Structure 1
Amino acid sequence: VVELNDGQVAVIEKVDTTGNVSLQLSGDQGLSQSFSVQQLQAHAKRVYIFRPETSVPDARVDEYIKPYEKSWFWDIVLKDWKRYTDIMVASMIANILALATIIFSMQVYDRVVPSQSIPTLWVLAGGVLIAAVFEFILRIARVYLSDIIGKRADLKISDRVFGHALRIRNKDRARSTGSFISQIRELEGVRELVTSTTISAIADLPFFFLFLVIFWLIGGNIFWVMLLVVPLMIVPGFLVQKKLAQLATEGMRESAIRNAILVEAVQGIEDIKLLRAEARFQNQWNHMNEVSADVSMRQRKIVGWLNAWTQKIQGLTYAIVVLVGCFAVMKGDMTTGALVACSILSSRMLAPISQVTGVLGRWQQAKVAKNGLDELMQKPVDRPERAQLIQRKVLLGDYDFKGVVFKYTEDDPRPTLVIPQLKIAIGEKVAILGRNGAGKSSLLQLLAGMQLPVQGKISLDGVDQSLLDPDDIRRDMALLNQNAHLFFGTIRENLTLGAPLATDEEIVRALQITNALDIVEQKKEGLDHTILEGGVGFSGGQKQALLLTRLLLRNPNIVLLDEPTASIDDVSEKVLIQHLKQWLGHRTLVVATHRPAVLQLVDRIIVIHEGKIIKDGPRDAILNPQHQPNAGGASA
């Protein structure tokens, strides 16, 4: 791609053997033109060379071998690989400086004490003090760098996971809110993989071999003691991995169940009190706590045993080195200073091994947590990464259902909705009637694109709804569910969630239409009044009025309402209906309701029974069948 001096952009198609370049200019609507290389060089400002960032899936070869896909987790963690290089350099210098203590001890016992050279002692002491100061600074810097890297990775992982969780398709979400929360909370376990402790353990591990070589140079054959000790420290950590993995899985499962019970109890706390069911929920909680505590105790028992074993081996190693070294000193194979240096070095070189043992004790917990997040990250989202979705500047609400069958889950014995054919024209006002559980809300979910049919096709403005960009649909469509939420924050923040650029005049106008201005004026802080979680402190009618105001502020072309006046009194409902009539204008309206007053807004009624359309026609024809014949346009 070439950027020209006049601002145009050109795509180079080919360069022939005679030096002519064929390219497409941005201003020529794809027409090819030919220029000489000299002409192109004279007018070219920049040249860009593009290549695919990743391998693109191809159905012809995917069954044989799929393109390489990066791990979302390690891609984030290893993004700061340059900082890991800094950590390794700091670790190398710090570990080399740590040898100063060993050299100091060896020189004191072998040279200073026999010769009683006080000046040499002070020189050596000064040198080891300087080395200790620099080692301390480097180790502090390493911890700081590790924490910075861990913090960055933690924030990016949290952002990626929470962003993905918000975009998971409705049908693929966890059925239990508590379980869904548990999956997201696995971030706490994954943090173990990016903490400074883990990074430091990995950074120090290679220097064990450096210390081993130095140990061999100083102590000779005693280094075999260290080679025998290392497996004794590491092997038990690997042997308990299977049991720790089992306990980690059980612990995650019990944690998910506890979260589910907790969320359910908090959401229904008033009903629990009114039904005097506190004892039942408390017994459930205590039972799950007992099981969870038992699993945690078994985990801590194994990890505690592992840590105790590691510490004991470290202590015994020091004693064994001194024991074996004494015989070497008595034989004259090594000096007393070398023995002291080897004893100090043995403890120093086993420190990275003990850190690795500690990491092994926590590894399965982090691994199970990461597997849980991997499962979450594999769930399909509303807008897949490589999907080439159709963009529409405006959507007006021309719906066309053909052979639609919908189920919430594959286990449902019968479909929730079966609609062979249904059309809703642009600007049409339609009411959906039916008994509880007939499928009215499900139909609204399909119209909103929040659910997808298992069979058939839903077209919106002439395009298959599944091919449209969800952002475009939600820009021009607004759905008010029965279970819509008010979130913690001010009234203004709640009202402008879907319309952040709304002015105060627009907010007041919307409040007047829904007759909710009085609700705001009754509050001392007005629009800055803080709404608690779930709208605590507001009546059902007040919440419904505020939610409807939030919908109107978005100024959608397609309006989908599910029982919009169910909690509103008759007087307020009458005023609301009058205002909505004027506001709706050219907009497409589909409303599910049991309230007769709402039918004033519509000119067509669809009656649903057991997931099927049994009547469909003009409002008056459906409401007064004895006076006018039934005009069933698209009945099933």
Structure 2
Amino acid sequence: MSVTGVQGEERDDYNRVESAQIRRRSLRLLGSLLRPVRGRVALTMIVVVISTAAQVAGPALIAFGIDRGLPALIDNDAMPLVFTVAAFLTTAVVGAALMAWYTVLTARISQAILIDLRKRVFLQTQRLSLDFHENYTSGRIIARQTSDLDSIRELLDSGVNQLVQGILYMLFIGVAIFVLDWRSGLVLLGALVPLAVLTRWFQQRSQRLFRQSRVASARLIVQFVETMTGIRAVKAFRKEKRNEKEFGEVVEDYRQVNGRVIQLFGIFDPGLVLIGNIALAVVLLVGGLRVAGGGLAVGVLLAAMLYTRQFFAPAQEMAMFYNSYQSATAALEKISGVLEEAPSVPDPVKPVDLWKAKGHVVFDTVTFAYTEGRVVLPSFSLDMPAGQTIALVGSTGAGKSTLAKLMARFYDPTEGEVTLDGISLRKLHPKDLRRAIVMVTQEAYLFSGSVADNIALGKPEATKDEIINAAKAVGAHEFIENLPDGYETDVNKRGGRVSAGQRQLLSFARAFLADPVVLILDEATASLDIPSERLVQNGLQTLLADRTAIIIAHRLSTVAIADRVLVMEHGQIVEDGTPEDLIAGTGRFAQLHAAWRESLV
């Protein structure tokens, strides 16, 4: 066998193993979702069994009425016919009432499962580490919470009903027709052979197509979300025509996949009807000949034909179930993958408490790489005494932001340790870590809600006076008071009602209220103009007082307030000293400072 053939077999084996693992993962998730509602599921099953039995009884009662009731009525005995009519009406009412109850029960079960699953996905996506969100696009996460959960909802709301009712209906009909006339039952049994072949053909092709449909749907959502999220860049670079072409291609892929699904049903549905009609014709032919010969009662033949006709109706509904099932299975596979994703920065098993941190941070021979083989920090060491303000400068890609992310424990070092007051961040209790170390980024993200709510994010239990004092401390109180509703002003989506400088001041007020012992400012003033930066600088002076601080900045005006400057290149510190000492020297920082001064002239 050729090497290519061996590799192909190995790849097929790997795909089979991976598919089996995905199925087991999905089944574990489904089992965990059903476990809390298993009592209601059991009750629902009892109700649907009784309801289906009541519905299936109709043709058998009709046969009894024709073959026994009508002859008795001719002999002036109306009781058998009255009994048949009463029994028929009773089973109809019981069947309808139980079906209504069954519908309510299944709806409650499906909603309970969906609420549980939706919460799990939301909590899991919050729990996962930063690297997951940097690699897993927001559009894909939105697809998990929207289209994928909708597919599962459709399956639970109607698909399962169709499956359970269909299976029970076909089973009960099969039993009833054999009890009435076993020869007609054999005809129906023979019809199951082409039905099974057709169904298997449909399953094999639909499984592949529905997976393709889920992928195409997710791509469509990702394309739309990314376009709307980056609408400013779209407008700025006149990307509308390119987006129209790209989105058109994605939509066309989605249309083609759905077109192939419709073609598949265009063969399957008529095939079911054809098999059902042929079976009905054979039952009529065989039964009619026997009626003519006196070997079969007319009522039994009519009941056998009704049962044969009814037998294939659930098969069509179960085909629609398979539609929902394939879509929901693909969705469940994707959701289970997210839910089984392990955080790359796990919480400690036995956390160490640090009730009152001082702010002494140490990088002890830290090596870090985002991906294997691409080291950003090679054997990095740094001692940051408590209360010191340190500025990090250097070219893009030097490792400054990586250093900040390690301090905030968004990532863990590949090797070495980062410690706070002598305790490794890996062992520190998460609540103590988040209370002790706060990071303010360039984005200065504001959530929908009031100004006060956004400041209180740093301390949810804060009083109104504490919120106002925090705003005053960083110089934000005056502009907040001038807003339409002051501190109760809704900032709109992403803080659209306030300027970039004002958003940054609000993020500083948030950090001030949180009162961390270590504060990280990652390019916190990079997006500001000069007047806004000066406004923010006043807030910075108050914000950095009496705490350990790291300032990452390209603007050297921000660096001037630091006690110590570290110049980084290629993940290493190449200069370390006070701003004044480094400016007076001839090193990298002196060159940067001279270039900055010239740019101001």
When normalised by structure 2's length, the TM-score is 0.86
Contact 1:77-1:194 within 8 A present in 2 as well: no
Indicate which of 226, 231, 236 corresponds to 1:264: 226
The range that moved more, 514-523 or 426-435, is: 514-523
State the alpha-carbon separation in 2 of the partners of residues 483 and 409 from structure 1. 25
Q: What does 1:317-466 align with in structure 2 at a 5 Å threshold?
A: 317-381=279-343, 384=346, 387-410=349-372, 414-466=374-426
Residues 1:145 and 2:141 aligned together: no
Distance in 1 (CA, whole Å) between partners of 2:103 and 2:37 is 15
Distance 1:455 1:69, change over 3 A: farther
**Residue pair 2:504, 2:536 contacting (<8 A) in 1 also:** no
* Secondary structure at 2:439 match in 1: strand
Q: Provide the residue aligned with 1:80 in structure 2.
A: 37
Counterpart residue identity of residue 360, structure 2:
D
Give 1:35-50 correspondences, 5 Å limit: none
Q: Which blocks of at least 5 consecutive residues in structure 1 are unaligned?
A: 1-67, 631-636
Q: Deviations over 1:210-233 (max 9, x none)?
A: 432221111122101221223433
Q: 1:306 to 1:341 in 2, by over 3 A?
A: same
- Take 1:386 and 1:79, find their aligned partners in 2: how far apart are those partners? 29
> Closer, same or farther in 2 for the Cα pair 1:385/1:319, shift >3 Å?
farther
1:175: Cα distance to partner?
Answer: 4.3
Residue type of the alignment partner of 2:402: S
Distance 1:385 1:613 in 2: 30
Match of 2:19 in 1: none
1:347 and 1:266, CA in 2 relative to 1: closer, same or farther beyond 3 A? Answer: same
Distance across 1 between alignment mates of 2:357 and 2:145: 35
Q: 1:237 to 1:472 in 2, by over 3 A?
A: farther
Instruction: Confirm whether residue 109 of structure 1 aligns to residue 70 of structure 2.
Output: no
Letter in 2 for 1:87: T
Structure 2 residue 212 is the aligned partner of structure 1 residue 255: no
The alpha carbon displacement at 1:481 in A equals 1.3
Counterpart amino acid of residue 71 in structure 1:
R
Question: Which one-letter code corresponds to 1:227 in the other structure?
Answer: L
Structure 2 gaps of 5+ residues are 1-24, 591-601
Instruction: Give the secondary structure class of the aligned counterpart of 2:251.
Output: helix
- Tell me what 1:178 maps to: 139
For 2:191 and 2:453, how far apart are their aligned partners in 1?
Answer: 63
For the structure 1 residues 524 and 582, does the alpha-carbon distance in structure 2 shift closer, same or farther, using more than 3 Å as the test?
closer
Q: Tell me, yes or no, if the aligned pair for 1:431 and 1:591 is still in contact at 8 Å.
A: yes
CA distance, structure 2, for counterparts of residue 354 and residue 257 of structure 1: 31
Instruction: Find the residue that maps to 1:397 and give its secondary structure.
Output: coil
The residue number in structure 1 matching 2:89 is 129
Give how far 1:592 is off: 0.9
Of the candidates 489, 494, 500, which is equivalent to residue 534 of structure 1? Answer: 494
Q: Secondary structure at the match of 1:111?
A: helix
Q: In structure 2, do the counterparts of structure 1 residues 70 and 320 end up closer, same or farther at CA, with 3 Å as the change threshold?
A: closer
Identify which range, 288-297 or 164-173, moves more after superposition.
Answer: 164-173
2:170 corresponds, among 205, 208, 225, to 208
| Partner residue in 1 for 2:598 | none
Deviations 1:5-35 (A, max 9, x none): xxxxxxxxxxxxxxxxxxxxxxxxxxxxxxx
CA shift at 1:79, angstroms? 2.6
In the alignment, does 2:560 pair up with 1:603?
no
Question: Could you tell me which residue of structure 2 aligns to residue 302 of structure 1?
Answer: 264
The residue that corresponds to 1:23 in the other structure is none
Change beyond 3 A, Cα 1:235–1:385: farther
Deviation at 1:335, TM superposition (A): 0.6
Shift of 1:319: 3.2
Deviates more, 1:208-217 or 1:289-298: 208-217
Match of 2:14 in 1: none
8 Å CA contact retained: 1:105, 1:337: yes
- Say yes or no: does 1:284 pair with 2:241: no
1:159-187 C-alpha deviation (Å, 9 max, x unpaired): 11121112112223334332333344422
Q: Deviations over 1:595-618 (max 9, x none)?
A: 344335421111112322111223
Distance in 1 (alpha carbons) for counterparts of 2:196 and 2:304: 21
Where 2:382 maps in the other structure, the secondary structure is strand
With over 3 angstroms needed to count, the CA separation of the structure-2 counterparts of 1:299 and 1:573, relative to structure 1, is same
- Aligned partners of 2:508 and 2:333: how far apart in 1? 41
3-state secondary structure, aligned to 2:418: strand
CA contact (8 A) 2:399 2:568 kept: yes
Structure 1 residue 590 displacement after superposition:
1.0
Change (3 A) 1:151 1:131: same
> Which of 232, 238, 242 is the equivalent residue of 2:194?
232
Q: How far is the alpha carbon of 1:451 from its aligned partner?
A: 1.8
Q: Which whole-Å deviations, capped at 9, do the CAs of 1:184-241 have from their partners, x for residues lacking one?
A: 4422233344334314522552453343222111112210122122343343232233
- More helix, by proportion: 2
AA aligned to 1:560 is I
Q: 1:562 aligns with which of 522, 536, 557?
A: 522
Answer with 327-336 or 356-365: which moved more.
356-365
CA distances 1:126-152 after superposition (whole Å, capped 9, x unpaired): 332222112101001001101100000
Q: Relative to 1, partners in 2 of residues 1:580 and 1:466: Cα closer, same or farther, differing over 3 Å?
A: same
The answer to whether the 8 Å contact 2:56/2:172 transfers is: no
The code of the aligned residue for 1:471 comes to K
* Match in the other structure for 2:208: 246
Q: CA offsets, 1:483-517, max 9 Å, x none?
A: 34222222222222242111111111111122222
Match in the other structure for 1:543: 503
**AA paired with 1:303?**
F
**TM-score for both structures, normalised by structure 1:** 0.81
Task: Write the deviation string for residues 426-463 of structure 1: whole angstroms up to 9, x where unpaired.
Answer: 22221111233322222111111012222332222222
Distance 1:367 1:276, change over 3 A: same
The alpha-carbon distance between structure 1 residues 538 and 223, as it changes in their structure 2 partners (threshold 3 A), is same
CA distance in 1, matches of 2:338, 2:513: 34
Between 96-105 and 204-213, report the one with greater CA deviation. Answer: 204-213
Structure 1 residues 601 and 187, CA gap change in structure 2 (3 angstroms): same
Distance 1:314 1:461, change over 3 A: farther
Q: Could you tell me how far apart the structure 1 residues matched to 2:140 and 2:282 are?
A: 52
Q: CA deviation at 1:582?
A: 4.1
What is the aligned-residue RMSD (CA, Å)? 2.9
Matched with 1:612 is 572
Aligned counterpart for 2:55 among listed residues 88, 98, 115: 98
Mapped partners of 1:89, 1:273: distance in 2: 60
1:340 aligned counterpart, secondary structure: helix
Displacement of 1:283 in angstroms is: 0.7
Tell me, in whole angstroms, the C-alpha distance in 2 between the residues paired with 1:572 and 1:280: 36
Give the Å deviation of 1:384. Answer: 4.8
Relative CO higher for 1 or 2, CA cutoff 8 Å, sep ≥ 6? 2
Answer whether contact 1:499 1:554 (CA < 8 A) is retained: yes
The structural deviation recorded for 1:583 is 4.7
Residue 197 (structure 1) aligned with residue 154 (structure 2): no
Alignment partner of 2:217: what SS? helix
Question: Secondary structure, in 3 states, of the residue corresponding to 1:530?
Answer: coil
Superposed CA deviations along residues 63-91 of structure 1, whole A, max 9, x for unmatched, are xxxxx998133211243111111112111
| Greater displacement, 199-208 / 421-430 | 199-208
Deviation of residue 560 (structure 1)?
Answer: 0.7
Aligned mates of 1:153, 1:331 — CA distance in 2? 57
Contact 1:563 1:593 (C-alpha < 8 Å) held by counterparts: yes
Q: Does 1:511 align with 2:468?
A: no
> Once structures 1 and 2 are overlaid, which stretch shifts more, 433-442 or 421-430?
433-442
**Distance in 2, Cα, partners of 1:141 & 1:91:** 9
Q: Is the 8 A contact 2:216 2:250 kept in 1?
A: yes
Hey, what does 2:7 align to over in structure 1? none
